[in-house]
Structure 1
Amino acid sequence: MSQFTVTGRFKNRDGFAEFETTIDAQNENVAREHALSQLGSQHRLKRTEIDLEEVVEQ
């Protein structure tokens, strides 16, 4: 498994909040899905409210 750094922003009540998270995944697509799932469950967001800007393998 590789480590990926996912950066982006999500919509909150004050506008947008930036985030950066590190995820262990097999490939870039799995890292994207995991980031969307994790942020959605933590902040009660829909996938359309999350904007993934960059996924970089470390």
Structure 2
Amino acid sequence: MAEQMFEVKGTFKIGDDWKPYTKVVGAPNSKQAEERTYATIGSEHHLKRMYITINGITPVDGE
């Protein structure tokens, strides 16, 4: 199955503040894009999933 590109928007908690983010991730479907976003942000910032929110996932059209 070919991977699509998805734009994922949301916020994550750093200290007392919630910082917005926008990421473009490759995944076969939107659920996998959500999981990859949690994994990426969690590992980069050492955060648990409860400190990461996803507000929207939209497919990105081709180049």
Q: What range describes the TM-score normalised by the shorter chain of this pair?
A: over 0.9
Deviation at 1:13, TM superposition (A): 1.2
List 4+ stretches of structure 1 deviating above 2 A: none
1:10-56 deviation per Cα after TM superposition (whole angstroms, max 9, x unaligned): 01114110000000100000000000000000000000000000000
Letter aligned with residue 27 of structure 1: N
Distance 1:10 1:24 in 2: 20
Structure 1 stretches lacking a partner, 5+ long: none
Alignment correspondent of 1:44: 46
| TM superposition score normalised by structure 1 | 0.96
Aligned residues: 58
Structure 2: unaligned runs, 5 residues or longer: none
Identical positions, percent: 29
